[in-house]
Amino acid sequence: MRSPFTPKAPLTFCQYNGSVCCNSTEDMQLQNLFKTMDVSDLGCASLVKLILCSRCDQFSAELYRIESVPRKVPILCNSTASPNSRQYQPGGVDFCSKVWDECQNVSLINSPFSMQVRGGTPSNSTSKLSDIWQSKNDFCNTFGGSSESELFCFDGGPVLLNNSEIPTPPSGMCLEKIGNGSYLNMVAHPDGSNRVFLSDQPGKVWMATVPEEGSGEMLVIDKSNPFLDLTDEVYADTEFGMMGLAFHPNYVQNGRFFASFNCDKVKWPECSGRCSCNSDVGCDPSKLGSDDGAQPCQYHSIIAEFTANGTTSQPSSVTSVKPLEVRRIFTMGLPFTSHHAGQILFGPKDGFLYFMMGDGGSIGDPYNFSQNKKSLLGKIMRLDIDNLPSAMTITDLGLWGNYSVPGDNPFSEDKELQPEIWALGFRNPWRCSFDIERPSYFLCADVGQDQYEEVDIITKGGNYGWRIYEGPSPYNPPKSPGGNTSATSINPIFPVMGYNHSDVNKAEGSASITGGYFYRSTTDPCMHGRYLYADLFAGGIWTGIETPEDSGNFTSTKIPVSCALDSPIQCSAEAGSSLPALGFIFSFGQDNRKDIFILASSGLYRVVRPSRCNYTCSKENVTSSSHPKSVPSPAPSASRTRRELNNPFVLELLIFLSTFFGFFL
């Protein structure tokens, strides 16, 4: 089962609209399955179709009790309903009895009912319900059930809820500043401690201990003693650098970790690999020309493996490692000088490595890489780094490095897809995360071109539309050698959240989204369950709430933000704004306490208890020892603003932002 999403067009066989859990391919598979069952009785056939199509319901995970024991048939509603149920059941529909009455003596080929009790896979066997169950009571004891407080049953139609009112958004978000550095990545230590790893764009990684919220302590980093220093390998410029950091799920035992970065083959001989512009994707690098002084595929995206096992058998005790690659996992030459994404994450349930890649850059994705199923640009990849291939296998399969391909990647169903691809149709996915309480919820922000910034729920084989769509609206790409993909040839999945460029900068209309996390900490109880995301320019921070839960239907609210007066490091305030002077919001982080952090150009910030900023939260337990309330910080003076703009670091950031994220392309 997958998290719900909204397809472009309604399904044709299963009558589900809006947020669903089936794409058009799965809808067709259900139709073919129904045909093979050859149900002769029309009344029974209509019920069997409804049951098969229940897999497309936005609440199918609850109907099939996926978190306990997976089922072939959903829980069929009986005549009882729990008084605490969230599900709306008019008249106490006894759907289970209805199925028995209509189908008990009807022959079904490959009956899902018999397969559930007998196990196994379809084998063209024929059975009747009455062959296996002696009575309606026996049948409904197996398949029947009532809706409960957090679980649903199938009554023959889409699950409806008693109350789907949108909760009132929090009154505001309170921050404390705990560090001054500027970082792109923050990863919680795999040992479950309060330590984190922080990496910057030039290629250094530090390990630090996060102080408790409200302790008044700063996060202390010894800049002279990094955990890892890759500055000799990383090419760090306005649009390049160290983009991702991920630790193996078994890091505590095996010490394996991975870095995603860019390199320059002119400056580093080991920066060498195939060019993503090649004949397989209809691209000739000799026709690209230079881009900002760089030749096609001069720069590469790399994933390299390192180890903390060199000096000890306890990787958790290691505080620094040598910059020696254990193996090169992935290397790919980049056609242009922007839209590289580069984040890497391990799936919390499957243990595979997810790699986010942008469309390669230039205006409007001129070679249509994002929609080209033979290109890895504009894609999210899913790689197996535990079962390493032989050199012959790498050559035979045309792999881009030392990894295997999970057998259940979408290519198993779509032979046109490169086997590494998990999802496609992205422009520049900038910051993705899995919900730690619902691992099927994999959300990514994708930076827009001219109009719209989006947040997507990522699903297996999903096509997110670029360059046919920008967000929910059609995009008219410039004429290009890459050709066009017809809008009718794909089934795009539209964003669940996002904002228009004009919403954050009415004068220029420029914007760039930074994806975040579902808030699962207890620090701010009124923020719990909301997805946080921001605009890179610090033009806004939003919270998205899903109503009803597990439906895929989100409502976003731009939220006020303040900094606590007792912040360990005093915050500055933006002139004429309630926002603290965050600078540019590069990324978000999450530690093992589930607290959320903002990684900005001005420092490292943590979301803290709302009462510390005088925000009201009825769920917060405010004691008499509450911290002092925040007051607005003085606006920066004109002379101070000029000093900041003359700062070389700030100037480099401005250049970096206007090019790396492609605001004006």
Dist. CA 552–CA 59, nearest whole Å: 9
Residue 118's pLDDT is what? 61
- Work out the pLDDT band at 660, boundaries 50, 70, 90: very low
Find how far residue 610's CA is from the centre of its chain. Answer: 27
Residue 624's pLDDT is what? 40
Q: Is the pLDDT of residue 651 over 50?
A: no
Q: Where are the domains of the chain?
A: 24-145, 173-480+493-617+624-660
Find how far residue 87's CA is from the centre of its chain. Answer: 28
- Work out the pLDDT band at 509, boundaries 50, 70, 90: low
Average pLDDT across the chain, whole number? 88
- Work out the pLDDT band at 163, boundaries 50, 70, 90: low
- Work out the pLDDT band at 657, boundaries 50, 70, 90: very low
Residues 6+ apart with CB under 8 A from 557: 169, 542, 543, 544, 545
Which tokens in the block code for residue 266? 């002119």
pLDDT in tens, 34-50: 999 999 999 999 999 99
Residue 119's pLDDT is what? 59
Q: Is the pLDDT of residue 517 over 50?
A: yes
Q: Is the pLDDT of residue 150 over 70?
A: no
Q: Is the pLDDT of residue 371 over 90?
A: yes
Residue type at 433 in one-letter notation: S
- Work out the pLDDT band at 654, boundaries 50, 70, 90: very low
**Crossing angle of helices 24-37/42-53, nearest 10°?**
150
CB 320 within 8 A of CB 228: yes
Residue 114's pLDDT is what? 86
- Domain at 173-480+493-617+624-660: CATH code: 2.120.10.30
Classified as helix, coil or strand, 559 is: coil
Dist. CA 286–CA 300, nearest whole Å: 17
**C-alpha separations of 618 from 70, 166, 560 in Å:** 38, 17, 17
Dist. CA 231–CA 586, nearest whole Å: 20
